[in-house]
């Protein structure tokens, strides 16, 4: 089974990095993993979302960990 790929998204500070919190979003989705509408936020395709990064949104981190756990239980 191929794991889900969650990329970093957020309000841009620099072309290669989000402003504050790093949220998780899949390419083609309009909502972050925590449920925020973010269709105009860039996807930083070179940054994989890491739930244990201190800059990560707590809601997105929780959702990513829950999905990872659910996949491992199958």
- First and final C-alpha spacing in the chain: 11
Q: 3 or 62: whose pLDDT is higher?
A: 62
Q: Can you name the residues that pair with 31 across neighbouring β-strands?
A: 37
Strands 7-9 and 12-14: unpaired
Q: Residue 71's Cα: distance from chain center in Å?
A: 17
- pLDDT tens string 14-39: 776 787 899 999 989 999 999 999 99
Q: In this structure, is the dihedral angle defined by the CA atoms of residues 50, 25, 1 and 46, taken in order, positive or negative? A: negative
Flag whether pLDDT at 1 surpasses 60.
Answer: no
pLDDT of 3 reads 53
The answer to whether 33 touches 25, Cβ cutoff 8 Å, is yes
Q: 64 or 20: whose pLDDT is higher?
A: 64
- Rounded to two decimals, what is the model's pTM? 0.83
């Amino acid at each position: 089974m191929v794991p889900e790929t969650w990329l970093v998204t957020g309000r841009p500070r620099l072309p290669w990095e989000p402003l504050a919190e790093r949220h998780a979003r899949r390419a083609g989705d309009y909502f972050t993993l925590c449920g925020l509408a973010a269709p105009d936020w860039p996807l930083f395709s070179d940054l994989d979302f890491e739930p244990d990064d201190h800059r990560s949104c707590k809601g997105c981190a929780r959702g990513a960990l829950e999905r990872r756990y659910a996949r491992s239980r199958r």
